[in-house]
């Protein structure tokens, strides 16, 4: 009964928290922490990261990352302006940097701060692959996924506190609650939440890369190369923050025509 009351409290909290709208899906999303707080912090952390790592500048690869990033972010702004979201990016400060690191990764911080590691470039295999990755990373920024993750983490913490307060006089059940809550909210809530964001970024990314003039089906080839490079070394999907490569490829196959149809509204009918 006490546990049910805790869950009720959490659910009521979820209903009362601040929300915002994802322009690409039209759905309400968590926004406990406003961008006015998140973006300055993200920009500071990004600058600190760059100061502590080797940023590659002036090379063909560095220029490619910069140029593709500018094209993709411009395409995103075109879509937003055409769909009634003029000014949506007013607080964004786009930045696209290549960092010398053999890790196969790229990432985005809130407000449009993006890093590509040199280790992902062989798998990108040229400008089109970089555009597929860039579309995905830019999409994370557009959809405020960082804000949503922070908000979800706060709700998870609120739930933990509520459960512990409710069971403060019952140490044995409190311990059981903490173990069950930690595993349950991670596997049952936070990881699916993260995988949802990754799939959402894949779908949005296809659209904006197509509007930028890049062939969206290149994302299929990219993830095939990613799968080959991983040598099957990945956790089961339900224990991962990301969908499996197979899931991503199948999803992207179903979204390519949609992306091209959206691009055609902007007069883009041929693709690199």
- Catalytic positions are 137
Q: What is the largest CA-CA distance in the chain?
A: 67
Q: How far apart are CA 188 and CA 213, in angstroms?
A: 38
Name every residue whose Cβ is closer than 8 Å to that of residue 195 and which is 6 or more positions away in sequence: 237, 240, 241, 242, 243
* Backbone angles phi and psi of 213, in degrees to 5: 100, 10
Q: Hunting for tokens 């009634």 — which residue is that?
A: 84
Contact 272, 214 (CB under 8 A): yes
Token pair, residue 219, equals 């994302």
């Amino acid at each position: 009964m006490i546990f049910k009351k805790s869950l009720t409290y959490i659910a009521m909290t979820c209903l009362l928290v601040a929300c915002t709208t994802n322009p690409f899906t039209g759905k309400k999303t968590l926004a406990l922490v406003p961008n006015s707080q998140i973006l300055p912090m993200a920009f500071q952390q990004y600058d600190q990261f760059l100061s502590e790592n080797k940023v590659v500048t002036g090379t063909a690869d560095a220029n490619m990352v910069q140029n593709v990033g500018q094209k993709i972010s411009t395409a995103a702004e075109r879509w937003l302006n055409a769909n009634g979201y003029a000014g949506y990016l007013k607080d964004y400060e786009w930045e696209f940097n290549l960092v010398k690191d053999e890790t196969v990764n790229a990432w985005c911080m809130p407000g449009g701060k993006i890093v590509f590691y040199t280790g992902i470039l062989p798998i990108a295999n040229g400008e089109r692959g970089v555009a597929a990755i860039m579309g995905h990373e830019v999409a994370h920024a557009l959809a405020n996924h960082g804000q949503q993750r922070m908000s979800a983490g706060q709700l998870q913490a609120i739930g933990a506190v509520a459960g512990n307060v409710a069971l403060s006089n019952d140490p044995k059940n409190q311990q059981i609650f903490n173990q069950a809550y930690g595993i349950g909210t991670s596997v049952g809530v936070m990881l699916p939440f993260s995988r949802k964001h990754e799939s959402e970024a894949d779908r949005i990314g296809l659209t904006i890369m197509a509007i930028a003039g890049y062939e969206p089906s290149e994302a299929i080839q990219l993830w095939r190369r990613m799968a080959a490079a991983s040598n099957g070394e990945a956790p089961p999907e339900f224990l991962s923050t990301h969908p499996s490569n197979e899931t991503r490829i199948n999803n992207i196959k179903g979204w390519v025509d949609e992306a091209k149809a959206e691009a055609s509204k902007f007069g883009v009918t041929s693709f690199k």
